[in-house]
Structure 1
Amino acid sequence: MMDSTAVDAVIERAVWHGLALQQDSVEIIDSGLDFRVAMADDAAGDRWVLRIPRRADVVAGLDAEAAVLELVRGHLTAEVPRWEIREPELLGYRALPGRPGLSVLEGEPQWHMDPESLSYARSLGRLLAELHAVPRAEVEAAGVEICEPDEVRRRWRQDVETVAEEFTVDGSLLRRWRTWLDEDALWPQRSVMTHGELYPAHTLMGESGEITGVLDWTTARVDDPGRDFMHQFALAGQDVFAETVAAYEAAGGAVWPRLAEHCHELWAAGPVGYAKFALQSGDDHHRSAAAALLDPDGD
């Protein structure tokens, strides 16, 4: 059942910024870690996306996300949000064309596409080739964060050790992460402009399965290109992942021989990122959930 208090709060925030919403059109999406999201129609019938930051540190990152959006807008064939309301308590933009491939309802994934769709796989490969080709000079001029290959590994190593100090971590997991970090051949020798969380919940699709829009650029920066392939590797089969890589290469992207293995290890290291988030947020619920992922057997 829709939380009427949450709906009223969203409508009130929108009114503060001159946006009149149709009350019965408001849909609350409460699954994001950084933002509470609402979808709603205005008085003219236009669909809006409203993002409400959950914490002060999220607000502090809005300038960086805005810079990324302006940077990538001219390089992608897919659309990205164009913020029309930008305040500490509310972000708002008109909904982009297309439908999400995945949503989360009460903690459960709801697929709106076949995760093994070849149309989506090839469209993703072409999109990644466009994104990863954004010129470094433009990135630097925009002030977007740049993390070179050595720094990428150094940060991962530091995060693994921080998590190992703060939580009980299953020994086999810890050995796996350290082995991955020590294996030079698994790691790319270049950094590129990345989205960081590119999976069907953050992509919008047209009727034929092509990607029409990309959402939520909060984690975007110059970094390991594997982070943009990781979700496709984990959610689609090997043959479908190969189609994404082939489309990427055909569009000018460059890969290294052990990309798939690297993506496998990135996915396995997901609990590290979540544990870091739990520490940053100070939320006991997230800390407990992270602890369960890090030591599944409770040893």
Structure 2
Amino acid sequence: MIGDIHALLSRHLPHYEVRSLAESGRGLDNVVYEVNGELIVRHGRAADPEATRREAELLAVVAELSTLPVPEVVFIDPEAAVIAYAKLPGRSLDRHPVAEPARLAEPLGGFLSALHGAEPGTMLDLAPLDAYPAPTLLHDAELEYLDVAAHVPERHRPLIESFLGAAPPPEPTSPRFCHNDLGAEHLLADPASGELTGVIDWTDAAVTDPAHDFALIYRDLGPEVFERTLFHYDGRLDDAGRARVLFYARCALIEDLAYGLSTGPRHYADAALAHLAHTFA
């Protein structure tokens, strides 16, 4: 695969000298490579030329909307399912947490205000409508929990099992444009200053329930950062919205735990276990 990336770089950037090229991460849908410490090349596991073109168009629109830096496309190769963009500064919060996470709340609130404020009908030209029903999410979480229950500390199991046995919240009525995977692994920050420096991986962006974006902030950064982010948010999140934030956060934690204990990197499971107490409190 490294050879394929070399060939793509030669084709699209013929005068670009490749001094270093290494895999920097992989997920369910993509393998990511870093070139010369300045270029990110993301290779999709399945070729979908139209999806690659649409994502490049989406990133251009998001760059106009976002109050935080987002990836700037350098080139795309739709047939190879490759998109390359300039590397943003900073490190991901999942592996490099900042000393004062509460300082992240104001920029996150402004970012989500801008994102969720986009006209949904316009964004549907670039991002799909994601209306995955809550009962189905809960059923998926039940099945995943069966596979990982033995890895959950015994004191936490009753809380999880009580959640899985309860009714899901009512469905949302006002979908908005969302990042839709705003976990700590997709938020970059300067380790020294603690300032947010970018938001990456927009492959799951969709017109959906805004509570999805808040849910991963709650799961990964904690309830205090969630509440402070909401204070700086221009939109509205009522009691039903808050209930969905908790619901999505808990389903997402079980999903990451199962992923990290099976086919994914182990640090996903470690993070899920570390966040379990406040997510299910």
Query: Shorter-chain-normalised TM-score: which range?
Result: 0.7 to 0.9
State, as a whole percentage, how many aligned pairs show the same letter.
Answer: 21
Q: 1:207-246 maps to which residues of 2 (within 5 A)? A: 208-246=193-231
Offset, 1:110: 2.3
Asked whether the 8 Å contact 1:72–1:134 carries over to 2, the reply is no
Q: 1:81-230 maps to which residues of 2 (within 5 A)? A: 81-87=71-77, 88-89=79-80, 90-96=82-88, 98-102=89-93, 110-114=95-99, 116-140=100-124, 142-147=125-130, 151-153=131-133, 156-158=134-136, 160-161=138-139, 176-177=163-164, 179-181=166-168, 183-184=169-170, 188-205=172-189, 208-230=193-215
Change (3 A) 1:27 1:241: same
Q: Distance in 1 between matches of 2:255 and 2:181?
A: 12
Instruction: Give 5+ residue unaligned stretches, structure 2.
Output: 150-156, 270-281
Change (3 A) 1:204 1:276: closer
Change (3 A) 1:179 1:78: same
Partner SS, residue 229 of structure 1: helix
> Residues 86-128 of structure 1: CA distance to partner in whole angstroms, max 9, x if unpaired?
11322112223x31233xxxxxx521523x5222122111111
Q: Distance in 2 between matches of 1:118 and 1:166?
A: 32
Q: Distance in 1 between matches of 2:181 and 2:207?
A: 13
Instruction: Give 5+ residue unaligned stretches, structure 1.
Output: 1-5, 103-108, 278-284, 293-299
1:76 corresponds to which residue? 66
Change (3 A) 1:111 1:273: same
Change (3 A) 1:101 1:286: closer
Give the letter for the 2:129 counterpart: I
Asked whether the 8 Å contact 2:56–2:76 carries over to 1, the reply is no
- The RMSD of aligned alpha carbons is 3.8
Paired residue total: 256
Give the letter for the 1:85 counterpart: F
Q: Distance in 2 between matches of 1:162 and 1:246?
A: 32
Asked whether the 8 Å contact 2:39–2:85 carries over to 1, the reply is yes
Give the letter for the 2:90 counterpart: R
1:295 corresponds to which residue? none
Q: Distance in 2 between matches of 1:110 and 1:219?
A: 21
Asked whether the 8 Å contact 1:79–1:214 carries over to 2, the reply is yes
Q: Distance in 1 between matches of 2:45 and 2:55?
A: 16
Partner SS, residue 26 of structure 2: coil
Residue from 50, 54, 57 that aligns with 2:45: 54
